[in-house]
């Protein structure tokens, strides 16, 4: 193994780590918003709404992420063109940023999983607390935002943060639509120097370091949340 090439690729790959982390974080935030909305749909009393929820969850969980990505990448330009022509807007559909396809496909996919995390977190809030709040005169709106939502988030945040590390690794598929992340950068480096083993090992090391760092960070944050929870309970 060429150690000089390995070290060079390792440092070059680190140059795309910030944008990889930012893109993954943006997808996570959008997925949380959509996942919360899906959770509320599931709890709706309307039968049609619950059916729509089940179809959505079944489709996005049952179809591989790669297919979602390619479908949106190739379908997005004609869809944008259709709407832009209808609204008499001049949009260059031939040069749409592939980031949009990544954001939409990954958000829709991740939300189908995060909705279950959020739903289980809402269920973890004891009904006795809501009943006590109702007895004190809290409205449904106040019960949700003052009692249910804060406790549900406390339970869901550690699980959501762990899903973030998975998103970073899943972003490697974005190379297929020309979005450069950690894996894509290693592919570009290996295509330039023809040292494939060195480039891929460098990418593996970067992923491993990120995973360890984020796991430690999230573990400490989870401990902080538990201490905060216990202090409030006391």
> Can you give the three-state secondary structure of the chain, one letter per residue?
CCHHHHHHHHHHHHCCHHHHHHHHHHHHHHHHHHHHHHHHHHCCCCHHHHHHHHHHHHHHHHCCHHHHHHHHHHHHHHHHHHHHHHCCCCCCHHHCCHHHHHHHHHHHHHHHHHHHHHHHHHHCCCHHHHHHHHHCCCCHHHHHHHHHHHHHHHHHHHHHHHHHHHHHHHHHHHHHHCCCCHHHHHHHHHHHHCCHHHHHHHHHHHHHHHHHHHHHHHHHHHHHHHHHHHHHHC
Structure tokens at 62: 């049952």
What angle (nearest 5°) sits at the alpha carbon of residue 7, between those of residues 4 and 9? Answer: 105
Angle (CA) 196-171-185 rounded to 5° is 35
pLDDT score for 29: 94
Q: What is the pLDDT of residue 144?
A: 74
Cα dihedral 138/139/140/141 (nearest 10): -100
pLDDT band, residue 232 (cuts 50/70/90): low
179-188 mean pLDDT: 91
pLDDT at 210: 93
For residues 225 and 232, the model is more confident at: 225
What pLDDT is attached to residue 229?
Answer: 60
Of 117-126, 169-178, 182-191, the poorest mean pLDDT is in 117-126
Tokens of 163: 């899903």
> pLDDT value at position 88?
67
Of the pLDDT bands very low, low, confident and very high (cuts 50, 70, 90), residue 49 is confident
CA dist 2 and 14 (Å) reads 19
User: Which residues are CB-neighbours of 214 under 8 A, at least 6 positions away?
Assistant: 161, 164, 165, 168
Report, as an integer, the average pLDDT of 132-149: 76
pTM: 0.84
Better-predicted residue by pLDDT, 92 or 61: 61
How many angstroms separate the CA atoms of 5 and 200, rounded?
A: 11
Predicted confidence band of residue 228 (pLDDT cuts 50, 70, 90): low
CATH superfamily of 27-152: MetI-like (1.10.3720.10)
HSE (CB half, 13 Å, CA atoms) of 24? 25
Report d(CA 44, CA 88) in Å as an integer: 38
Task: State both tokens at 80.
Answer: 């944008």
């Amino acid at each position: 193994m060429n150690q000089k090439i390995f070290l060079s690729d390792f440092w070059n790959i680190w140059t795309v780590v910030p944008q990889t982390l930012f893109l993954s974080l943006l997808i996570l935030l959008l997925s949380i918003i959509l996942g919360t909305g899906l959770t509320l749909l599931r709890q709706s009393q309307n039968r049609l709404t619950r059916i729509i929820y089940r179809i959505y969850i079944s489709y996005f969980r049952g179809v591989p992420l790669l297919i979602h990505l390619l479908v949106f990448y190739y379908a997005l330009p004609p869809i944008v063109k259709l709407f832009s022509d209808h609204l008499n807007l001049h949009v260059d559909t031939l040069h749409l940023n592939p980031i949009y396809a990544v954001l939409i496909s990954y958000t829709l996919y991740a939300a189908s999983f995060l909705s279950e995390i959020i739903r289980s977190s809402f269920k973890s809030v004891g009904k006795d607390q809501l009943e006590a709040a109702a007895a004190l005169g809290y409205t449904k709106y106040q019960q949700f935002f003052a009692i249910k939502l804060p406790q549900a988030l406390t339970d869901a945040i550690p699980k959501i943060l762990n899903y973030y590390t998975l998103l970073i690794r899943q972003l490697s598929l974005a190379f297929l639509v020309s979005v450069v992340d950690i894996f894509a950068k290693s592919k570009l480096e290996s295509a330039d120097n023809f040292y494939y083993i060195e480039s891929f090992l460098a990418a593996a090391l970067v992923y491993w370091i990120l995973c360890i760092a984020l796991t430690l960070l999230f573990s400490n944050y989870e401990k902080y949340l538990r201490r905060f929870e216990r202090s409030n309970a006391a």
